[in-house]
Amino acid sequence: MSAPAFDARPLTDSIDRRAMRAHLQQMRAQGRGGSVWGASTVQGVIVLIVFGVFALGVVGVFISTAVGIASAMVSTGVSSGALVLLPLVFVLGIAAVIVFVIVRVLRGRGEREYRLDRFASTNAMSYVSALAAPALPGIIFGVGSSRHASDLVRGMRPRFVEFANYGYTTGSGKNRTTHRWGYVAVRLDTPLPHILLDATGNNGLFGSNLPTSFDRDQRLRLEGDFDRYFSLFCPRGYERDALYLFTPDIMARFIDHAAELDVEIVDDWLFLYAKRDLSTLDPATWAWLFSVVRALLGKLDQWSRWRDDRLTPATAAPVTAGPTPEGPDAAVTASGPSFPLPAAQLRPPPGVAREGRRLTRSVSWLSIAAVVVVVAFWVFTIVL
């Protein structure tokens, strides 16, 4: 991803519509393009249908009123031809608006896919239109239903990086809510303890905007200005490991480049989250994201040296023996090394002990308060 210079022209260049249609057909044939009836498109069409039904209901009332007036005018001998045609014109106008908007939505989705695919290929990356329920371990990926990622832009070098938008729904019926996120996923060299950096700059009125809360006694306060920008959570007993990973120079990188984003380290992944789409057609957003990733990639290599002292070589998977050598020295060779093993072989294997793999979650007091209010209101209405 770092080899070519950043080129955002495909996001804004004029488009040859015929070439775009041919390109989209090729993407569909390769399985990289999503259906024009994607999740966001379907939601938009549903809104239009609801609006159309409401408008037709209003038109029905208007028609009945107009017919009544026309009948009265006919009985008095007054011409009512124009008044009778007016409801029909109104219905046709509403239908035309709905069809126009649906066509624009579908065409806009195709143009978005075309631009992002060309942008990705120009910058030595790849593009996938949509992915249902991505199998990622971050905290936003295990919440709700109808989980889907869209507009996935992926780079493979110097390490795997994925930029995408993500959505899921919670609740049901009238309480159904759609949640939208943007994320950047970076593959690490080795599994690390579960660490969360909750950015203070994007918190809401009731605190963190993240969908999950964690026990406050896992909060680790760091020196300097870092606590002004992030609240760092790490598993109990892993405070020294967090300090090893977040050296002053790495903390400075996060403050300077990623202070607007929530950060999560889990397993062998680093996630950056925003409560908005990140994979967009905005060149400024992409320039910022590329600068953030480049700044962090330069410091992630030192994390590959971390090992969990709670693990021992005995816990590592056994090494499968190779073929037994033959020849005059076979007995000596097969019996094992006759010299001391280097100390490096006694290092813990890559991995994280069970107690460090996940933060301990807590119950949201805001959710409890909301449930109490709803139950109290329900009881109050029954009593009355």
84 lies in the same domain as 168 = no
Query: Can you read off the two tokens belonging to residue 76?
Result: 């008095």
Q: Does the pLDDT value for residue 161 go beyond 80?
A: yes
**Bigger pLDDT: 286 vs 207:** 286
Higher pLDDT, 339 or 30: 30
Among 132, 147, 182, which residue terminates a domain? 132
Within-domain flag for 322: no
Cα end-to-end distance, the chain, whole Å: 65
pLDDT at 332: 44
pLDDT (mean) for 137-156 = 96
20-70 pLDDT, tens digit each: 999 999 998 888 875 544 444 455 555 556 666 666 566 666 666 666 665
- pLDDT recorded at residue 362: 84
Mean pLDDT of 300-327: 68
Give 79's DSSP letter: -
Do 381 and 349 belong together in one domain? yes
Half-sphere exposure of 95 (CA within 13 A, CB side): 7
Cβ distance 226 to 255 under 8 Å? yes
Residue 301 vs residue 154, higher pLDDT = 154
Q: Where are the beta strands (DSSP E) in the chain?
A: 126-132, 145-155, 161-170, 177-199, 219-220, 230-233, 262-274
Please check whether residue 14 lies inside any domain of the structure.
yes
Lowest-confidence region among 161-165, 240-244, 321-325, 353-357: 321-325
Residue 62 belongs to some domain of the structure: yes
C-beta neighbour count of 274 within 10 angstroms? 20
pTM score over 0.85: no
**How many domains, in total, are found in the chain?**
2
State whether 45 and 101 are in the same domain: yes
Please indicate, yes or no, whether residues 235 and 310 belong to a single structural domain of this protein. yes
Looking at the fold, whether 193 and 128 belong to one and the same domain comes out as no
Do 302 and 178 share a structural domain? yes
Mean pLDDT value of segment 129-144: 96
- Tell me which residue has tokens 């949201």: 364
Of residues 30, 301, 60, 111, the one with CA closest to residue 188: 301
Lowest mean pLDDT among 29-38, 79-88, 126-135: 79-88
Q: Which of 72-86, 109-123, 336-350 has the lowest mean pLDDT?
A: 72-86
Q: Which residue has the higher pLDDT, 189 or 45?
A: 189
**Residue 328 included in any domain:** no
pLDDT higher than 50, residue 118 = yes
CA nearest 274: which of 266, 288, 130, 128? Answer: 288
Percent of residues, the chain, with pLDDT higher than 90: 56
Residue 297 lies in a domain: yes
**Domain's final residue, options 110, 132, 154:** 132
* 305 and 254 within one domain: yes
Last residue of a domain, one of 100, 116, 132: 132
Q: Are residues 213 and 95 in the same domain?
A: no
Question: C-alpha distances in angstroms, 49 versus 35, 45, 54, 175?
Answer: 20, 6, 9, 20
The answer to whether the beta carbons of residues 230 and 254 sit under 8 Å apart is: yes
In a domain, 331, yes or no: no
360 contact partners, CB below 8 Å, separation of at least 6: 214, 215, 218, 235, 236
148 and 290 share one domain: yes
Q: Are residues 144 and 98 in the same domain?
A: no
Residue 294 lies in a domain: yes
More confident residue, 324 or 88: 88
The string of DSSP codes covering 172-229 is -GGG-EEEEEEEEEEEEEEEEEEEEEEEGGG-BTTB--SS--B-GGGEE--STTHHHH
Taking all residues of the chain, what is their mean pLDDT, rounded to a whole number?
Answer: 81
Give the confidence band of 79 by pLDDT, cuts at 50, 70, 90: low
How much is the pLDDT for 37? Answer: 45
In the 8-state DSSP scheme, what is residue 35? P
Task: Provide the pLDDT for residue 317.
Answer: 44
Answer yes or no: is 178 within a domain. Answer: yes
Are 161 and 146 found together in one domain? yes
pLDDT the model gives residue 324: 46
pLDDT band at 377 (very low <50, low <70, confident <90, very high): low
Q: Tokens 């301990």 label which residue?
A: 360
80 shares a domain with 127: yes
Domain that holds residue 73: 1-132
